[in-house]
Amino acid sequence: MSAFNFQEAVIDLSYQKPVVVDFWAPWCGPCRFLGHVLDDLANQASDKWALVKINTDEHEELSGAYEVRGIPAVKMFYRGKVKAEFVGALPKPQVERWLQANLPDEKAELLEKLQELLLQPHSKADALIHLQAMVQQYPNFYPALLALAEQIVWEKPIETLELLKPIGEFDHGGEKAADLRNFAQFILFMPDEATQNTPAGQALIHAQTAAKMADFETAITQLINSVAADKNFNHGLARKTAISLFRYWGFEHPLSRKYRHKFDMLLY
């Protein structure tokens, strides 16, 4: 296989599907063992990925270019780059786990593209429609549920709570789902006359109004005011919402850096 053919058979093809490259040599016993494993798995793959074998004795330049230090060496190419690799004759179950962990997920890639579009004002509306369609098509794909919940929680809290029902506390994304549920419950808060006549309640109402208008600096300051007045008011709603906001934003977010210490001092 020439360098040109490598470009065609591996690099170019990797833009269509993953290509698993097996660097081997005829004199290498472990290479022959692994070669049979890879052949079996490639035959079972239904063309989801391609297998290309490279004899390192015949193509030393490729071994050098891709830093093959020992054989058998397996490298997965995707979109022109090495995405994952391992060295040694792993047993079939381990190779299967390696493939499962590293083969690209079409759903995840689509979601990533949609999330990029959601950040652009001119494409956000269309991207949201596609995201909703994706959730309908893959109702158990939790990353998509979470992504849609993020987009609608401040305007459609009831729909958000329904959307997040499948995601449990210990599921992947469970913490983020809990934060989004807290936001939804905060938006759904309905003040009564008694609430309106308390400092904690008044601050909570102001925080809710600000959040609905996407004024999150006012929202967090009013939540802090509510906690300062009574941190257990309405089952700790202001406290829980503030904790979720800081966790959702992360430590480096400007509002976290500005207000987190003040909030923590109220709690402890």
Note the pLDDT tens digit of each residue in 188-231. Answer: 999 888 777 899 999 999 999 999 999 999 999 999 999 999 99
Note the pLDDT tens digit of each residue in 168-191. Answer: 988 889 999 999 999 999 999 998
pLDDT over 60 (residue 241): yes
Note the pLDDT tens digit of each residue in 64-86. Answer: 888 888 999 999 999 999 999 99
Give yes or no: 168 in active site. no
Whether residue 55 sits in one domain with residue 38 = yes
Q: Read off the pTM.
A: 0.70
What is the structure's pLDDT at 46?
83
If one counts the domains in the chain, the total is 3
Range of the domain at 195: 189-267
Domain endpoint, select from 102, 124, 141? 102
Whether residue 70 sits in one domain with residue 117 = no
Give yes or no: 31 in active site. yes
Whether residue 94 sits in one domain with residue 60 = yes
Domain endpoint, select from 170, 185, 200? 185
Task: Exactly one of 20, 31, 167, 242 is catalytic; name it.
Answer: 31
**Peptide bond before 72: cis, by omega within 30 degrees of 0?**
yes
Whether residue 151 sits in one domain with residue 139 = yes
Whether residue 178 sits in one domain with residue 196 = no
Whether residue 86 sits in one domain with residue 10 = yes
- The pLDDT-based confidence of 2 (bands split at 50, 70, 90) is very low
Domain endpoint, select from 169, 185, 201? 185
Whether residue 98 sits in one domain with residue 22 = yes
Task: Exactly one of 28, 207, 219, 224 is catalytic; name it.
Answer: 28
- The pLDDT-based confidence of 3 (bands split at 50, 70, 90) is very low
Whether residue 98 sits in one domain with residue 168 = no
